Structure 1
Amino acid sequence: MQYVRMPIEVESPEEFGYGRIRYNLSESSITDQRLSDFNLEIPDLALIYNEHRGSEALRKLIIEENPELSVDDVLITAGAAGALFIIATALLSPQDHLVVVRPNYATNLETPRAIGCQITFVDLSFENGFKIDLEALQASVRPSTKLISVTCPHNPTGVMMSEGELRQLVQLARKHGCYLVVDETYRDLSLGGALPLAASLGSHVISVSSLSKAYGVPGIRLGWLITSDKNLQEIFLAAKEQISICGSVLHEWIGEKILANRTAILGPTLTEMRRRLGIVSDWINSEELLEWVRPSGGVVCFPRMKSIPNGGTAKFYQRLMEQHGTYLGPGHWFEMPDTYFRLGFGWPTSEEFERGLEGISKALRG
């Protein structure tokens, strides 16, 4: 494994320093929550080794609306990042081939690179509405392809596949005898309705998700992977046991309480995120220097500058921060030109959010 730090992590708000940012529009989740926001008080828990697969109660809650899946199809991990790491290191070797969409969350790209496997990128384009080109994806599959990796809702664009497109991908992977990984981290933030849980569509499909983005609890590091392939699940469990043995009793207890109340929590969140998306839409429509593909899931979008701003893109981001206190996720976080940027509309307060949008418009004009 050849590890390299990812720009998105090196330049993340927590590394840059939250205290230096007034209007943080770089985040990809809703506002960070406190235990009191969920009316939770930590009981006197026994700090034991937990069930290696994760709390059974938690795993039941994760698949409760999918009767075709069982509790043993779920493995609790250290966030979605932990799930993606387990999948990549368990399935890929330098002799294997991966097909992955790009742009993408950096872990979906960098862990396979660290392994040294062969990678074919299927690049999404602004002109095609950031939709996956299924023909290009199929043409990228080789006899050595072990894994196809996609994200829906997509990070950083917020674009979603249709159910028909998802089912086509499932069939394509089945036809070629490879696994399909669907990073569904934003599934609970699907603004027009969620797709079927991908892992419910075939034993060769692996779903990945977490509580970090939709519920605002990245600090408890709780995610999961789902597959109904029993042999594969045993391999993933072995990987988890060698990394951490089990998860945190405390984190899983919090996760149980949140998911047990998921409907009541998500209702107001989705209402607010739809309102904020409307604000972004109105702003983009009135901002002659930008264009975008309107997102349909998650709390991020990926606008593009119509021309290079005064002084170049580096100067734009510099004055945006220094003069307007606003922080964005520049395109290079996603191996894209810095004329693109990820704009997160779920994390800041409403006032901070709107001030940040004003700052972007001013910085674009120098």
Structure 2
Amino acid sequence: MKFEPAPLEDWMRLYYFAVDDDIGSSGVEDYSLAELRALLGIGNDELDAVVFRDSTSFGGEEVRTAIAARWGTGDPDKVMVTHGGSEAIYLVLSTLLEPSDAIVVTEPTYHTHTSIARSMGCDLRVWPLRPENGFRPDLDDLRAVVDGAKAVVVNFPHNPTGASLTPAQRDEFVAICAEAGAYLVWDQAFREMVIEGEPLTDPVHDYDKAISIGTLSKGYGLPGLRVGWAIGPEDVLRGTLDLRDRMTLHLSPLVELLATRVARHADLLVGPRMEQARRNLGLLRQWAADHPDLIDLPEPMGSASTFPQLLGHTDTTGFCHDLAREHRTLLVPGSCFGDPTRVRLGYGGPTASFTRGLDTLALAGEKARVQN
């Protein structure tokens, strides 16, 4: 397959490692290995005991058991461990879908949710998340496009908007997918990253055609560990092996050791990082109130990003280029998600850097406003 360009990945390749302050990413502050070992009590003896042999195609039993207990149904046979959530999405969608299948996706959306299906020749049906509603999902919009769909692909809390479902809406949403007989691919990359209340119940607990995609990259501050997973029907997971055997084969046993310990003590990592993100969101709300001529800020329900409109800009791409090149501050233009008037603004990073980034954004935004 030949894939369409991925503007988000192109942007991050260009600037992610070339800035001082990052207010565009969707995750939280990264952990170091020293911090991880201290939090989880991982000693030298455990690391020294790792033997660099192959693992199994689905992942070692210990890591699958830990993931199943934390995020799944408790059954390790319904878990496959992958190189990040991106590999899980690719394997699952490439296995489930055939050309001409109909698939429901949100708009805006993360690019892999659409590009794989589009490259296969599937019929993409849009479930719009409307800015006039603060990007809150409207289930009537889903009902209008779901009949006959092979799969519904979503992530809540949502990237890039931070929108989500209420618990009652989540139950209704699953019922709609079940009535349509569609597979539900539930990307739960931001599951624990909620502003208020508890995380939504994963549909693998109450829908037999649900496949849950997870990762340690977002809420756990471990993107470089490259650990993800798929939880779902055993026949779907087995079906991915034709691709897995030609790609990554399995994870490193050292990575599996760390992932196992994280899964067993996940709250120790995500808790402090989400406290920081909530504090940063409070700073962002005040900053937006202080700059009403610069930004229209939707209120996120979760994740660590929001999708505001930069007022006075019909296309924020040039502004974001200047912000990175001249001020070494990362902000992602909305063109990466199909709406060039907006930006993805991430608030999960270190507070000092986040505050500097907002100050830079205010100065650059005021300068651009005066020039226009």
TM-score (norm 1): 0.92
Alignment of 1:48-63 (within 5 A): 48-63=53-68
The equivalent residue for 1:333 is 336
Deviations 1:47-96 (A, max 9, x none): 11112211222222223257844111111111110111011100112121
Retained in 2: the 8 A contact 1:80–1:209? yes
The equivalent residue for 2:221 is 216
Given the alignment of the two structures, is residue 299 of structure 1 paired with residue 295 of structure 2, yes or no? no
**Partner SS state of residue 257, structure 1:** helix
Retained in 1: the 8 A contact 2:23–2:330? yes
Cα pair distance change 1:365/1:315, threshold 3 Å: farther
Greater CA drift, 294-303 or 312-321: 312-321
What is the CA–CA distance in structure 2 between the aligned matches of 1:333 and 1:183, rounded to whole Å? 19
**Partner SS state of residue 345, structure 2:** strand
RMSD: 1.9
Alignment of 1:46-195 (within 5 A): 46-65=51-70, 68-143=73-148, 145-192=149-196, 193-195=198-200
Deviations 1:303-346 (A, max 9, x none): 1123228xx63442243234432210100111112x21011111
Retained in 1: the 8 A contact 2:317–2:334? no
What is the CA–CA distance in structure 2 between the aligned matches of 1:195 and 1:17, rounded to whole Å? 31
- Quote how far apart the aligned CAs of 1:150 are: 1.0
Given the alignment of the two structures, is residue 7 of structure 1 paired with residue 7 of structure 2, yes or no? yes
Greater CA drift, 21-30 or 264-273: 264-273
Aligned partner letter, 2:8 = I
**Partner SS state of residue 202, structure 1:** coil
The equivalent residue for 1:287 is 291
**Partner SS state of residue 214, structure 1:** coil
The equivalent residue for 2:370 is none
Aligned partner letter, 2:297 = W
Cα pair distance change 1:243/1:314, threshold 3 Å: closer
Retained in 2: the 8 A contact 1:301–1:343? yes
What is the CA–CA distance in structure 1 between the aligned matches of 2:182 and 2:244, rounded to whole Å? 22
- Quote how far apart the aligned CAs of 1:361 are: 1.3
What is the CA–CA distance in structure 1 between the aligned matches of 2:201 and 2:241, rounded to whole Å? 25
**Partner SS state of residue 48, structure 2:** coil
Cα pair distance change 1:66/1:333, threshold 3 Å: closer
Retained in 2: the 8 A contact 1:291–1:305? yes
Aligned partner letter, 1:165 = Q
Alignment of 1:36-47 (within 5 A): 36-39=34-37, 40=42, 41=44, 42-47=47-52
The equivalent residue for 1:259 is 263
Aligned partner letter, 2:168 = G
Retained in 1: the 8 A contact 2:310–2:316? no
Retained in 2: the 8 A contact 1:146–1:178? yes
Retained in 2: the 8 A contact 1:77–1:240? no
- The percent of aligned pairs where both chains have the same amino acid is 28
What is the CA–CA distance in structure 1 between the aligned matches of 2:234 and 2:318, rounded to whole Å? 53
Retained in 1: the 8 A contact 2:316–2:342? no
What is the CA–CA distance in structure 2 between the aligned matches of 1:134 and 1:175, rounded to whole Å? 13
Retained in 1: the 8 A contact 2:88–2:229? yes
Retained in 2: the 8 A contact 1:24–1:327? yes
- Quote how far apart the aligned CAs of 1:98 are: 0.6
What is the CA–CA distance in structure 2 between the aligned matches of 1:188 and 1:62, rounded to whole Å? 14
Aligned partner letter, 1:266 = V
What is the CA–CA distance in structure 2 between the aligned matches of 1:157 and 1:124, rounded to whole Å? 9
Retained in 2: the 8 A contact 1:97–1:142? no
**Partner SS state of residue 113, structure 1:** helix
Cα pair distance change 1:106/1:131, threshold 3 Å: same
Aligned partner letter, 1:111 = I
Given the alignment of the two structures, is residue 353 of structure 1 paired with residue 354 of structure 2, yes or no? yes
TM-score (norm 2): 0.90
- Quote how far apart the aligned CAs of 1:234 are: 2.2
The equivalent residue for 2:15 is 16
- Quote how far apart the aligned CAs of 1:132 are: 1.7
- Count of residue correspondences: 358
Aligned partner letter, 1:6 = A
What is the CA–CA distance in structure 2 between the aligned matches of 1:194 and 1:37, rounded to whole Å? 25
What is the CA–CA distance in structure 2 between the aligned matches of 1:84 and 1:206, rounded to whole Å? 10
**Partner SS state of residue 216, structure 1:** coil
Any unmatched runs of 5+ in structure 1? none
